Amino acid sequence: MADDKEREGPDITVAEFHKKIKDAFEVFDHEANNTVDVREIGTIIRSLGCCPSEGELHDLIAEVEEEEPTGYIRFEKFLPVMTEVLLERRYRPIPEDILLRAFEVLDPSKRGFLLKEELIKYMTEEGEPFSQEEMEEMLSAAIDPESNSVHYKDYIAMMVIDES
């Protein structure tokens, strides 16, 4: 309630984060036994609004895994780590302008688009390369079939709207 806001402090925030994390975790906890498959951790973390890189994700997983990895992550281990991440506002999403500049770096002649082959090359050979599945997925939405290219400004704008 509006007037209760003044009385709220960091405790309320932590409690709210706990609830939010629990909700997200439960959606992927198929057997209702407070564990999720380690392969779903990335999805859970990102669904909470964070954007770790693959490397950062790898590190996070190492933090929440058992001493002897079982392939499952327990909620008791996940909760404190994830709460810290949220409190410290780590792995903030990439702002639109940074994203745009990244595309522009790949398009030095400033055409306003990238050819399909160019996008594939960069995404599968540079940085933390895409798998074939990831590449196909991205292409299906990004590529304009007539010109076989990605008009990245429009693409970004479309994705941003979809997310809001």
Q: What residue type is 155 in one-letter code?
A: Y
**Contact between 39 and other proteins per CB under 8 A:** no
Between CA 151 and CA 62 the distance in angstroms is 38
Between CA 18 and CA 25 the distance in angstroms is 10
Q: Least distance from C-beta 4 to other proteins, angstroms?
A: 7
**Contact between 91 and other proteins per CB under 8 A:** yes
Closest CA to 107 of 140, 145, 156, 146: 156
| Site stretch for other proteins (CB under 8 A), options 22-30, 60-68, 80-88 | 22-30
- Contacts of other proteins in 114-143 (CB under 8 A): 122-123, 126-130, 134, 137-138, 140-141
| Site stretch for other proteins (CB under 8 A), options 20-28, 61-69, 79-87 | 20-28
**Contact between 87 and other proteins per CB under 8 A:** no
CB of 105 closer than 8 Å to CB of 61: no
- Could you tell me where the beta strands, DSSP code E, fall in 70-113? 72-74
Count of residues for the chain?
164
Q: Least distance from C-beta 150 to other proteins, angstroms?
A: 10
How distant, in Å, are the alpha carbons of 28, 39, 100, 115, 118 from that of 110?
A: 43, 38, 12, 12, 14
**What does the radius of gyration of the chain's CA atoms come to, in whole angstroms?**
20
CB of 83 closer than 8 Å to CB of 60: no
One of 93, 144, 147, 157 touching other proteins (CB under 8 A): 93
**Contact between 99 and other proteins per CB under 8 A:** yes
List contacts with other proteins (CB under 8 A). Answer: 1-5, 15-16, 19-20, 23-24, 26-28, 30-35, 42-44, 46-47, 50-56, 91-94, 98-99, 101-103, 105-106, 122-123, 126-130, 134, 137-138, 140-141, 159, 162-163
